[in-house]
Amino acid sequence: MARIGALFLAMLAFFPAKAVAPVGSFALEWAPTDTKAGFAVRYKGLSSRYRVNAVSVLPGQRLSIGVAGPGTGFRLRDLEGATAVLSGGSWQWVAPGASGLYRLLVSRESPPDSIVLNVFVLVPRSRMNGEYLNGYRIGRYPPPWGRAPEIYQPPAGFIEVTPENQDTPVSPRFRLGQFLCKQAGGYPKYVVLDERLLFKLEELLDRVNAAGIAASSFHVMSGYRTPYYNHSIGNGRYSRHVWGAAADIFIDESPADGNMDDLNGDGVVDLRDADVLYRIFDQAAADPSYSYLLGGLGKYRATRTHGPFVHVDVRGFKARW
């Protein structure tokens, strides 16, 4: 335990003490406006400068972790206090056999900086009993379909969510629990979460703030949906929500009342406020650096059960509605 505490004290030294997010029995701190490090971490074909990242792997899976950017003295540390110096351009981290949350710290000695990887070792889909996983109803995934059948493969596994880990940061401004399916049931719950969706939400949040709309996060009205729940609400069975690759979002800052803010300042909250976000998000798609985050974008008017919102997803190609 002493080694664990020492590791996190070292990690906290790299984060300005501004915003606090509980993670188990520890607290990670960083400034909400300082979400990116001065170097990037590479993993699973992705490159991230975000100070906190979520990574999903199967038990026993080898995860190659590299770095890009200026500086010297890069090290990878785990919660047990083990430290590895970068060799051959990357580290090879092997996921434990037990599912759960494992935290890795990539640090840079000069100039001092760091990035946290919250690695979720999945519960394999093979452990499902029919439509259930440990008593939680998942349902059945449909067969691959459409113009990109590879994105409709059933997930290899699921993140197990408990009261203890649901507040884990999955990116600087989003938490694991924000993406839980809304179906009834106790813990443990299970979720699928595409890492690219988190990158997209962070990128869009930056663009919203750059447009003069102050927002600390998006309210995620709907994130992951199990196939069972998705069918129960009458949604199409190939919804990207079922693969953890979509979010229905709005800004809920002033006042924080569970509804979209009046973004266009006309005194009414309606589809025109969703259109403000839609236009900002659509403009982002024209940026070449955004190409790996291409996906669906739709705007929805208020109903008796919810206010206006915007749907975003990562499907690999552009879709609008």
Quote the strand ranges of 69-180, DSSP E.
72-78, 83-85, 90-94, 100-110, 113-121, 123-124, 132-133, 136-137, 157-161, 169-171, 174-175
Say if 2-121 and 125-320 have the same CATH topology: no
Structure tokens that stand for 11 in this block: 């990690």
As a whole number of Å, the CA-based R_g of the chain is 20
Higher-confidence residue of 88 and 254: namely: 254
pLDDT tens digits for range 225-246? 999 999 999 999 999 999 999 9
The CA distance from 211 to 214, in Å, is 9
Mean pLDDT (whole number) for 142-163? 95
Give pLDDT tens digits for 86-96.
Answer: 676 789 999 99
Domain definitions of the chain by residue range: 2-121, 125-320
Chain mean pLDDT for the chain: 89
* Mean pLDDT in residue range 162-186: 97
Topology (CATH level 3) of domain 125-320: Muramoyl-pentapeptide Carboxypeptidase; domain 2 (3.30.1380)
Give the whole-number percent of the chain exceeding pLDDT 90. Answer: 81
pLDDT band per the 50, 70, 90 thresholds, residue 13: very low
pLDDT at 31: 61
Residue 80's pLDDT band, with cuts at 50, 70 and 90, is low
Mean pLDDT of 314-321: 95
The residue ranking higher by pLDDT, 145 or 310, is 310
Lowest mean pLDDT among 7-11, 178-182, 293-297, 301-305: 7-11
Check residue 91 and give its pLDDT: 93
- Using one digit for the tens of pLDDT, what is the confidence trace for 178-215? 999 999 999 999 999 999 999 999 999 999 999 999 99
Is the pLDDT score of 63 beyond 50?
yes
Res 99 pLDDT > 80: yes
The residues facing 56 across adjacent strands are: 120
d(CA 55, CA 164): 18
Peptide bond into 143 cis (omega under 30): no
2-121 fold: Immunoglobulin-like (2.60.40)
pLDDT at position 290: 87
Region 298-313 average pLDDT? 96
**Which pTM does this prediction carry?**
0.89
Classify strands 319-320 and 296-300 as parallel, antiparallel or unpaired. parallel
Q: How far apart are CA 52 and CA 36, in angstroms?
A: 9
Show the DSSP H helices in the chain as ranges.
Answer: 2-12, 195-210, 227-232, 271-284
- Sheet with 46-50, edge to edge strand ranges: 46-50, 36-43, 62-68, 90-94
